[in-house]
Amino acid sequence: ETGVTQSPTHLIKTRGQQVTLRCSSQSGHNTVSWYQQALGQGPQFIFQYYREEENGRGNFPPRFSGLQFPNYSSELNVNALLLGDSALYLCASSLAGTYSNQPQHFGDGTRLSIL
d(CA 17, CA 31): 28
CB 68 within 8 A of CB 26: no
Does the footprint of other proteins cover residue 35 (CB under 8 A)? yes
Cβ burial of 11 (10 Å; 0-12, 13-18, 19+) is middle
Footprint of other proteins on 37-96 (CB under 8 A) = 40-45, 47-48, 50, 55-58, 90, 92, 94, 96
Size of the site for other proteins (CB under 8 A): 31
What mask of x and - would describe binding to other proteins in positions 7 to 26, judged by CB under 8 A?
A: --------------------
CB 113 within 8 A of CB 14: no
Positions in the binding site for other proteins (CB under 8 A): 4, 31, 33, 35, 40-45, 47-48, 50, 55-58, 90, 92, 94, 96, 100-109
